[in-house]
Amino acid sequence: MANAPVLLLKEGTQRSSGRDALKNNILAAVTLAEMLKSSLGPRGLDKMLIDSFGDVTITNDGATIVKEMEIQHPAAKLLVEAAKAQDAEVGDGTTSAVVLAGLLLDKADDLLDQNIHPTIIIEGYKKALNKSLEIIDQLATKIDVSNLNSPATRDQLKKIVYTTMSSKFIAGGEEMDKIMNMVIDAVSIVAEPLPEGGYNVPLDLIKIDKKKGGSIEDSMLVHGLVLDKEVVHPGMPRRVEKAKIAVLDAALEVEKPEISAKISITSPEQIKAFLDEEAKYLKDMVDKLASIGANVVICQKGIDDVAQHFLAKKGILAVRRVKRSDIEKLEKALGARIISSIKDATPEDLGYAELVEERRVGNDKMVFIEGAKNPKAVNILLRGSNDMALDEAERSINDALHSLRNVLMKPMIVAGGGAVETELALRLREYARSVGGKEQLAIEKFAEALEEIPMILAETAGMEPIQTLMDLRAKHAKGLINSGVDVMNGKIADDMLALNVLEPVRVKAQVLKSAVEAATAILKIDDLIAAAPLKS
Ligand code: ADP
């Protein structure tokens, strides 16, 4: 009997396996990492991304770039996942993580060419990672965060924010100074000391709003919350002190029936009676709110004209159509309970703030809520001339907030500018010799990958990469563990810490972990089976 063909896969499925699949995946991942390389560091270049709707994003933030790029290749998508994991975990170091993952894969490719099995490479990389984490802890400098308001600590924190932000702002500018101070103030307000040292920093208490107009220097930190809304009625007060605030997710409107209903009215009296009934319903709701003591009403839904009129008559300041996310923040900040059914509202549902006031911001009005019951509520109100500037400022604030959170959680820092990477490479090579065998080769490749970081930074500064690495190696061999690439001045510096180029240990450790995780995930794949795309 002739052998019948065995059909395992659907027609049109593409399959590549073994070395081919792996090579193909590595190539895709390395290509993506290559693209990001030129964005690394303070002199990294921006990418301009245009999405399918024609919206433009200009950024050098790794996480944003990979998110917006709509990557297709499955292996490159794994790197995107690494960037997202990095972003979610520590909120910083995304470019570094993707670039390093690509470098690790590129080096792995050399080993594959020497017929070293992927499993050995994975093992070697894992060992190198664990050793690196150990070494980083030894190299790190502890910082004193016992008093967040002491000038010395603030200074130290400023240095940390500086490194994070310098890749996005013109370093040293007034804009940057303004933002740095706001970010440090915001974090000092929300930080909660932990018994075992360090702090918990709930970043969700820090609300960030963007309002077009003015310049970045007009941005402000509000001790409380800001709503991008106006007071709904001209007859209402614009300022309420000792505000007792009802936070509603119910509408102050007469509900329209879901199904269309027909009301037959035969006389003018009936119309009046009908309208009176509606007005009475709204008046009852307003009376109820007034009776529990509310003098400010913040509503997620609409407030009908008639209800506005009654509220104004009671001297209640009201704001409507507030975002759900803001309503939830208000609940926490004001110590309020969201009211869904007005007729069941009680005085205990009300939140409290020292002051609620409508103020002019640029050409618009916004409602400021200050001195909230929860003293930890803060709001950064960003100003800027256009959406792109505002978005980029928001991203760098987020980076800065995260890096402060990282140092406050684990108050240890290492030198940036490729200093740690060079020192790690030096010590890993020594360690590799003690491991021996083929894994030794993998650990050495890991060290080589790390050394590419200072080379890339050197390149962004127009320096000769290989010469820079040679010089750096010589310095580290002499014991200058913090010497790195001073990108801003285009030369090697003996002590990056003295230049304020430093990074939280938590970030650096996570960069290494994310990169190794992504690289090893790709190295484990030896079969690529792709179904034929659906025909549309
Ligand atoms: P990431 O998304 O990984 O945080 P960045 O573009 O912020 O990427 O670049 C981070 C890298 O740039 C780190 O290796 C950091 O040490 C380095 N770096 C930042 N500022 C400087 C500086 N002034 N001089 C040299 N290197 C710097």
> Does the CB atom of residue 450 touch ligand 1 within 6 A?
no
Portion of the chain with pLDDT greater than 70, in percent: 96
pTM: 0.76
Residue 274 lies in a domain: yes
Owning domain of residue 399: 151-220+388-407
Alpha carbon distance 306, 230 (integer Å): 18
Beta strands 141-142 and 412-415, pairing class: antiparallel
What's the pLDDT at 2? 61
| Cβ atoms 282, 307 nearer than 8 A | yes
Helical packing angle, 419-435 and 118-139, nearest 10°: 130
Average pLDDT over residues 244-263: 83
Average pLDDT over residues 425-436: 95
**Which residue has a Cα nearest atom 10 of ligand 1?**
41
Ligand 1 atom, smallest distance to 416 CA: 16
pLDDT (tens digit per residue) in 118-171: 999 999 999 999 999 999 999 999 988 888 888 988 988 988 888 777 666 554
**Residues 493 and 523 grouped into a single domain:** yes
Ligand 1 atom, smallest distance to 485 CA: 25
> Is there a catalytic annotation at residue 468?
no
What's the pLDDT at 342? 93
Which helix H or strand E contains 281, and what residues bound it?
helix 268-291
Q: How many domains does the chain have?
A: 3
What's the pLDDT at 79? 87
Reported confidence tier of residue 527, pLDDT bands at 50, 70, 90: low
Whichever domain contains 56, its CATH number is 1.10.560.10
Q: Residue 267: count other Cβ atoms within 10 Å of its Cβ.
A: 8
What's the pLDDT at 536? 59
What's the pLDDT at 1? 54
> Does the CB atom of residue 40 touch ligand 1 within 6 A?
yes
Q: What tokens were used for 156? A: 């130290």
Does the ipTM surpass 0.95?
yes
Whichever domain contains 166, its CATH number is 3.30.260.10
Lowest mean pLDDT among 74-78, 242-246, 250-254, 354-358: 74-78
DSSP string, 201-230: --GGGEEEEEEEBS-GGG-EEESEEEES--
Residue 9 lies in a domain: no
**Residues 61 and 174 grouped into a single domain:** no
Q: Which one of 487, 491, 495, 500 would you pick to mutate in the ligand 1 pocket, going by the greatest count of ligand atoms within 8 A of its CB?
A: 487
Residue 535 lies in a domain: no
Residue 446 lies in a domain: yes
Q: What tokens were used for 465? A: 């990469």
Reported confidence tier of residue 420, pLDDT bands at 50, 70, 90: very high
**Residues 438 and 524 grouped into a single domain:** yes
Reported confidence tier of residue 431, pLDDT bands at 50, 70, 90: very high
pLDDT (tens digit per residue) in 85-125: 888 888 888 899 999 999 999 999 999 999 999 999 999 99
What's the pLDDT at 170? 53
**Residues 133 and 75 grouped into a single domain:** yes
pLDDT at 361 over 60: yes
CA distances for 529 relative to 10, 14, 17, 18, 77, angstroms: 11, 6, 8, 11, 15
pLDDT at 39 over 80: yes
**Residues 431 and 396 grouped into a single domain:** no
**Which residue has a Cα nearest atom 25 of ligand 1?**
417
Distance 93 CA to ligand 1 centre (A): 8
Residue 2 lies in a domain: no
What's the pLDDT at 145? 87
**Residues 393 and 429 grouped into a single domain:** no
| Cβ atoms 46, 169 nearer than 8 A | no
Alpha carbon distance 254, 165 (integer Å): 50
Alpha carbon distance 423, 478 (integer Å): 11
